[in-house]
């Protein structure tokens, strides 16, 4: 009788082993290989922009955990995009495509993230002074244009934009933003970026005031000195026909005789480019264009 029971006993034991091995945490179960999930999987940025990646580890049974700070990151093209050990991505100065590889510390799972870096685009143009600028008939004023870029930065585009006036007979504007108040009235000054088509506006009100003619200009410092890479502020004092004086630093037209050695902007700020001597000139805007003053600038 005992011998007859053995086949049934062995069948019972085999069935029990099969059930135990089928349990998910039994020693004889297949190992659980996790996968990594990167969010987002792709992204398009402009140079200078940043992005924080999020990485999760998912197991076959559905368990999920955040491992953003414990995985390994590597970029295939650091010139296009760099990534820190915490998953913080920065778009570089070079445009193109980079792939960020993400690997589990135990090397069991990996994933990737693709980033495309484009050059920043012009989001808007801002004209300064802003709306409601009041000018006296016969005077002039330097306007500037600033491009707001898609990467959050700004760029002076005063010399690059196309300047125009809605009414040149009231207020005319030169190619570097110098606005001349011609006669009483109102006009819109527009700065348009040729590349993007974006435009900025400023409203100008010209009032009569019995403007006195400009007789002379006095530029300081005279002479000036600046180091390579540094800036120096020049000022222009206008001597009027009635003997009075007025600060005209932002009204005159500034120029440099050697822009390869030093440049100067519409507000009289000169920047040293290379060592040498330069002549800096301040010239009255129309109708005072014949009045000018010149001084020397040494770049050291």
Q: Are residues 111 and 126 in the same domain?
A: no
Residue of 264, 271, 272, 273 lying closest to 294 (CA atoms): 264
Q: Is residue 163 part of a domain?
A: yes
Q: What is the pLDDT along the chain (300 residues), one digit of tens a residue?
A: 444 445 555 455 445 544 444 444 444 444 578 899 999 989 999 998 999 999 999 988 888 999 999 999 999 999 999 999 999 999 998 999 999 999 998 777 999 999 999 999 899 999 998 777 778 888 888 999 999 998 888 999 999 999 999 999 999 999 899 999 888 889 999 999 999 999 999 999 887 765 567 889 999 999 999 999 999 999 999 888 777 788 889 889 999 999 999 999 999 999 999 999 999 999 987 777 788 999 999 999
The residues, any chain, with a CB within 8 Å of residue 129's CB and separated by 6 or more, are 141, 143, 202
Question: Does residue 298 sit in helix, strand or coil?
Answer: strand
Count the helix, strand and coil residues of the chain and give each as a percent rounded to the nearest 5: 5, 50, 45
On the 0-12 / 13-18 / 19+ scale of CB atoms within 10 A, 84 is exposed
Total domains in the fold of the chain: 3
d(CA 186, CA 148): 27
Q: Is residue 127 located within the same domain as residue 111?
A: no
Contact (Cβ atoms closer than 8 angstroms) between residue 235 and residue 246 = no
Parallel, antiparallel, or unpaired for β 42-46 and 262-264? unpaired
The pLDDT assigned to 205 comes to 86
Among residues 256, 130, 270, the alpha carbon closest in space to that of 204 is found at 130
According to DSSP, the residues that pair with 140 across neighbouring strands are 180
CATH of the domain at 164: 2.60.40.10
The token pair that represents 104 in the structure block: 């589990």
Is 130 part of a structural domain of the chain? yes
Q: Decide if 155 contacts 231 (C-beta within 8 A).
A: no
Domain that holds residue 57: 34-118
- pTM exceeding the 0.75 threshold for the entire prediction: no
Indicate the residue among 172, 207, 242 that finishes a domain. Answer: 207
CATH of the domain at 254: 2.60.40.1080
What whole-number distance in Å separates Cα of residue 53 and Cα of residue 40? Answer: 7
Do 127 and 114 share a structural domain?
no
Residues 54 and 114 in one domain: yes
Q: Hey, how many other C-beta atoms are within 10 angstroms of the C-beta on 38?
A: 22
H/E element, 56: strand 54-58
**CA distances (Å), origin 290, targets 5, 146, 214, 269, 286:** 124, 30, 10, 22, 8
Q: Which residues contact 174 (CB under 8 A, 6 or more apart)?
A: 163, 180, 253, 285
Asked whether residue 260 is domain-assigned, the answer is yes
Q: What is the structure's pLDDT at 150?
A: 86
Per-residue model confidence (pLDDT) at position 8? 52
Question: 27: which DSSP letter?
Answer: T
- The arrangement of strands across the sheet holding 35-39 comes to 35-39, 54-58, 64-66
For residue 4, give the 3-state DSSP assignment.
Answer: helix
Question: Do both 195 and 255 map to the same domain?
Answer: no
Instruction: Check the CA dihedral 77-80-84-89 and report its sign.
Output: negative
Q: Give the pLDDT confidence score for residue 161 in this predicted structure.
A: 96
Alpha helices in 161-290 (DSSP H): none
- Name the phi and psi angles at 168, rounded to 5: -65, -20
- Please indicate, yes or no, if residue 13 is contained in any of the structural domains: no
Q: Which of 136, 127, 238 is nearest to 180 (CA)?
A: 136
Residue 16 lies in a domain: no
């Amino acid at each position: 009788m005992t011998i007859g029971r053995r086949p049934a006993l062995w069948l019972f034991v085999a069935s029990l082993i099969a059930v135990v091995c089928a349990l998910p945490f039994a020693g004889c179960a297949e190992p659980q290989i996790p996968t990594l999930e990167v969010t987002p999987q792709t992204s398009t940025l402009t140079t200078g922009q940043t992005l924080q990646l999020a990485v999760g580890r998912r197991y076959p049974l559905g368990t999920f955990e955040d491992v953003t700070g414990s995985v390994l990151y590597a970029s295939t093209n650091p010139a296009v995009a760099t990534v820190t050990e915490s998953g913080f991505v920065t778009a570089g100065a070079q445009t193109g495509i980079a792939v960020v590889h993400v690997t589990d510390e135990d090397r069991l799972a990996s994933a990737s993230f693709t980033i495309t870096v484009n050059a920043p685009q012009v989001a808007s143009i801002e004209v300064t002074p802003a709306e409601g600028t009041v000018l006296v008939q016969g005077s002039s004023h330097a306007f500037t244009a600033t491009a707001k870029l898609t990467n959050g930065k700004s760029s002076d585009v005063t010399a690059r934009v196309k300047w125009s006036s809605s009414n040149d007979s009231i207020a005319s504007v030169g190619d570097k933003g110098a606005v001349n108040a011609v006669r009483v009235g109102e006009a819109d000054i527009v700065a348009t970026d040729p590349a993007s088509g974006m435009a900025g506006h400023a409203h100008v009100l010209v009032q009569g005031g019995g403007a006195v003619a400009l007789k002379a200009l006095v530029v300081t410092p005279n002479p000036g000195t600046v180091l390579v890479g540094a800036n120096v502020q020049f000022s222009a004092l206008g001597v009027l026909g009635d003997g009075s004086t007025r600060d005209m630093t932002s009204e005159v037209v500034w120029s440099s005789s050697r822009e390869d050695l030093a440049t100067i902007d519409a507000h009289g700020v000169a920047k040293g480019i290379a060592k040498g001597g330069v002549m800096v000139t301040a010239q009255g805007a129309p109708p005072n264009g014949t009045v000018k003053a010149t001084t020397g600038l040494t770049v050291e």
